[in-house]
Structure 1
Amino acid sequence: MTSLDLALIQDAYAKLRPVVHQTPLFSNRLLSQLTDCDLYLKAENLQITGSFKIRGALNKVSAVAQTNASGVVTGSSGNHGQAVAWAARFMHLTAQIVVPTTAPAAKVEAALSYGAQVEYCGTTSHERLERAQQIAKDTGMTFVPPYDDPLVMAGQGTIGLEILEQRPDVQTVLIPIGGGGLISGIATAIKSLRPDIRVIGVEPLGAPKAYQSRQAHARITLPSTDTIADGLKSLALGTQTYPIIERLVDDLVTVDDDEIRYAMGLLLTRQKLLTEPSGAATTAYALRRPAQIRGQKVVALISGGNIDVPTLCHQLNP
Structure 2
Amino acid sequence: MTQASSLRAEQSATELLTLEDVRAAAARIDGAVVKTPMMHSITLSEITGAEIWLKFENHQFTAAYKERGALNALLQLTEEQRAKGVIAASAGNHSQGLSYHGRRLGVPVTIVMPSTTPSVKVMQTESVGGNVELVGETFDEAYAHARTLEKERGLTFVHPFDDPQVAAGQGTVALEMLELKDDFDCLVVPIGGGGLMSGMATVAKTLNPDIQMVGVQAKLYPSMYSAVTGDELPCGGDTLAEGIAVKEPGAFTRQIISELVDEVLLVEEPALEHAVSLLLQIEKTVVEGAGAAGLAAVLSNPEKFAGKKVGLVLCGGNIDTRLLANVLVRDLARSGRLARLRITLQDRPGALYKVMREFNDHNVNIIEIYHQRIFTTLPAKGLITEIECEARDGAQIDRLVKALEAKGYSVELAELA
TM range (shorter): over 0.9
Whole-angstrom CA distance in 2 between matches of 1:103 and 1:293: 37
Q: How many residues align?
A: 316
**Segments of 4+ in structure 1 off by > 6 A?**
none
Aligned-partner Cα distance in 1 for 2:138–2:208: 36
Aligned ranges for residues 240-279 of structure 1 at < 5 Å? 240-279=252-291
Unaligned runs of 5+ in 2: 8-15, 331-417
Per-residue deviation at 1:77? Answer: 2.4
Q: Of the two, which has the highest radius of gyration? A: 2
Between the aligned partners of 2:137 and 2:259, the Cα distance in structure 1 is 31
Output the TM-score relative to the length of structure 2. 0.72
Name the structure 2 match of 1:133.
Answer: 147
Q: CA deviation at 1:289?
A: 4.3
> What letter corresponds to residue 16 of structure 1 in structure 2?
I
Residue 258 of structure 2 corresponds to residue 237 of structure 1: no
Q: Which has the higher contact order (CA 8 A, sep 6+)?
A: 1
SS at match of 1:40: strand
- Whether contact under 8 Å (1:60, 1:152) holds in the other structure is yes
Q: Structure 1: where are the runs of 5+ without partners? A: none
Matches within 5 A, 1:201-212: 201-212=215-226
2:173 to 136, 145, 159: 159
2:135 maps to which residue? 121
Matched residue, 2:413: none
**Correspondences of 1:35-74 after superposition (within 5 Å):** 35-69=48-82, 70-74=84-88
Contact 2:267 2:300 (8 Å CA) reproduced: no
Q: For the structure 1 residues 168 and 54, does the alpha-carbon distance in structure 2 shift closer, same or farther, using more than 3 Å as the test?
A: same
Q: 1:102 deviation in Å? A: 4.5
Contact 1:74 1:97 (C-alpha < 8 Å) held by counterparts: yes
Distance verdict in 2 for CA 1:173–1:102, change over 3 Å: farther
Aligned to 1:27: 40
- Residue type of the partner of 1:35? T
1:49 aligned counterpart, secondary structure: coil
Give 1:99 deviation, angstroms. Answer: 2.0
Indicate conservation of the 8 Å contact 1:43/1:302, yes or no. Answer: yes
- RMSD value over aligned CA atoms? 1.9
Task: Give the 3-state SS of the residue equivalent to 1:27 in structure 2.
Answer: strand
Q: CA deviation at 1:28?
A: 2.0
SS in 2 for 1:63: coil
Q: Given that residues 35 and 288 in structure 1 are in contact (C-alpha distance below 8 angstroms), is that contact kept between their aligned partners in structure 2?
A: no
145 and 166 in structure 1: CA distance in 2 versus 1, 3 angstrom threshold: same
More displaced, 277-286 or 104-113?
104-113
Deviations 1:49-86 (A, max 9, x none): 11000000000011125444311110112100001101
1:310 counterpart = 2:334: no
Partner of 1:284: 296
Q: Deviations over 1:97-117 (max 9, x none)?
A: 112344354432221111211
